[in-house]
């Protein structure tokens, strides 16, 4: 109970951040506002806790449901038509991330295992665990991923504002004021999707499926969609809840200890972040030029950021959310399958060189 109580300040600060960002129309909107507010609370009061894990999982399932509702024949057709160029983009991003890690290891003397896990385009928690299993510097891997998420979530809204339509942020007051009625109308259908999505998420988590909660929400909702009363997208109040909880959880990771650890590696992390971001944008631009996707969807879908953050950003900037979700989920699965093999191979190669083989 005490831990739950100590998680209230970041959540309250995150909600305050949403209101402030919405009031002044700041880039990044609700998600960034929640992240900044929660980070400020964590840095001001070091004893506070992250939002409860079950609450975070619930918010991720709701985010998946909001994507699954919009999956239809047009979306599936677009995904299938873009399969080859998107696959090439994913392969290119992973390969160039491997090269960036090799360069970082050479220049800064960071062990290659640590550099590769830290420059992985996504799957932060899995990469921290993998680095720990292979005697890498897991705290540094965590710092590199947190720094990259912060930079990308801060920078991307500013960059995407060049292409974006008005976001939900400017309507935050209306969304909150009219929330009760909108939630009441949509509650039966949303509860049905949650009743199937939450158990499926628990099953996926037990199987260690990447992005388990979001994938469960998407999959169950997309399959159940044709058999339930139609919703024209999930009401924005549900999306606002997801942004609040997920943004607050990310922001609350910014502790004083993490900041202290970042100082030594901040230059390396910033360079790696903008190199990976530049690679992603070049590949995204190529997808756009090829005619496979619109520009906003291509750029956000190719960005080496966290899955939840990029899905939310896609929604706030008018990109194709199901397509962005499909791109990041596919990349996450490929990373989870291939990167452990690459890391272990690098470890064996290093051991062979040390032995003079």
Please name which of 269, 288, 34 lies closest in space to residue 301, comparing C-alpha atoms.
288
* Residues in contact with 261: Cβ distance below 8 Å, sequence separation at least 6, in sequence order: 139, 140, 143
Which residue is associated with the tokens 């909600």? 15
Structural tokens at position 98 = 């491997």
Determine if residue 293 is left, alpha or beta; phi over 0 gives left, psi from -120 to 50 gives alpha, anything else beta. Answer: beta
Query: Would you say how long the chain is, in residues?
Result: 357
Burial class of residue 352 (count of CB atoms within 10 Å of its CB; 0-12, 13-18, 19+): exposed
Separation CA 60–CA 75 (nearest Å): 21
Which residue is associated with the tokens 């959880």? 249
What pLDDT score does 262 carry?
Answer: 65
DSSP assignment, residue 82? T
* Mean of pLDDT over the chain: 80
Distances (CA, A) of 311 to 30, 226, 308: 13, 23, 5
The C-alpha angle with vertex 273 and arms to 319 and 137, in degrees rounded to 5, equals: 125
Whether the CB-CB separation of 157 and 171 falls below 8 Å is answered with no
Whether the CB-CB separation of 157 and 29 falls below 8 Å is answered with yes
Structural domain boundaries of the chain? 6-40+52-350
What pLDDT score does 285 carry?
Answer: 93
pLDDT digits (tens, 9 = 90+) for 137-152: 776 787 788 778 778 8
Please name which of 12, 46, 11, 53 lies closest in space to residue 255, comparing C-alpha atoms.
46
Which residue is associated with the tokens 């990447």? 210
Cα distance from N-terminal residue to C-terminal residue, the chain: 57
Task: State how far Cα 180 lies from the chain centre.
Answer: 28
Dihedral (Cα; 326, 330, 335, 337), 10-degree rounding: 150
Instruction: Give 10-residue mean pLDDT values along the chain (357 residues).
Output: 82 92 70 86 87 91 86 74 85 87 86 84 68 73 78 78 53 56 78 93 86 87 80 73 87 76 76 88 91 88 82 82 86 75 69 55
CATH of segment(s) 6-40+52-350: 1.20.1530
Whether the CB-CB separation of 71 and 225 falls below 8 Å is answered with yes
Please name which of 219, 42, 59 lies closest in space to residue 146, comparing C-alpha atoms.
42
What pLDDT score does 170 carry?
Answer: 44
H-type alpha helices, the chain? 2-6, 8-24, 29-44, 53-68, 73-81, 83-108, 112-118, 124-133, 138-160, 172-177, 179-206, 212-224, 236-251, 256-289, 295-301, 307-317, 321-354
Burial class of residue 343 (count of CB atoms within 10 Å of its CB; 0-12, 13-18, 19+): buried
What pLDDT score does 172 carry?
Answer: 55
What is the SS3 assignment for 227? helix
């Amino acid at each position: 109970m005490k831990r739950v109580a100590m998680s209230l300040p970041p959540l309250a600060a995150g909600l305050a951040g949403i209101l402030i960002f919405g009031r002044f129309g700041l880039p990044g909107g609700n998600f960034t506002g929640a992240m900044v507010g929660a980070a400020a609370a964590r840095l001001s009061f070091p004893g506070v806790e992250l939002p409860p894990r079950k609450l975070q999982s619930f918010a991720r399932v709701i985010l998946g449901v909001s994507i699954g509702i919009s999956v239809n024949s047009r979306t599936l057709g677009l995904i299938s038509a873009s399969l080859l160029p998107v696959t090439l983009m994913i392969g290119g991003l992973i390969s160039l991330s491997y090269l960036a890690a090799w360069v970082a290891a050479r220049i800064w003397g960071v062990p290659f295992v640590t550099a590769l896990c830290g420059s992985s385009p996504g799957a932060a928690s899995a990469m921290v665990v993998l680095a720990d299993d292979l005697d890498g510097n897991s705290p540094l891997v965590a710092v590199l991923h947190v720094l990259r998420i912060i930079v990308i979530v801060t920078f991307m809204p500013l960059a995407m504002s060049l292409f974006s339509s008005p976001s939900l942020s400017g309507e935050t007051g209306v969304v909150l004021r009219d929330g009760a009625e909108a939630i009441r109308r949509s509650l039966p259908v949303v509860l049905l999707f949650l009743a199937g999505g939450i158990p499926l998420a628990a099953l996926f988590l037990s199987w260690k499926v990447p992005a388990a909660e979001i994938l469960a929400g998407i999959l169950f909702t997309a399959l159940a969609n044709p058999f339930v009363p139609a919703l024209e997208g999930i009401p924005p109040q549900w999306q606002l809840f997801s942004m609040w909880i997920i943004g607050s959880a990310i922001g609350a990771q910014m502790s004083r200890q993490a900041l202290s650890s970042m100082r030594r590696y901040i230059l390396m992390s910033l360079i790696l972040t903008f190199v990976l971001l530049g690679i992603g944008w070049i590949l995204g631009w190529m997808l756009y030029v090829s005619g496979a996707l619109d520009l906003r969807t291509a750029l956000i879908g190719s960005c080496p950021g966290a899955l939840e953050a990029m899905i939310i950003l896609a929604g706030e900037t008018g990109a194709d959310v199901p397509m962005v979700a499909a791109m990041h989920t596919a990349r996450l699965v490929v990373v989870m399958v291939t990167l452990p093999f690459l890391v272990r191979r690098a470890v064996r190669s290093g051991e062979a060189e040390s032995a003079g083989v």
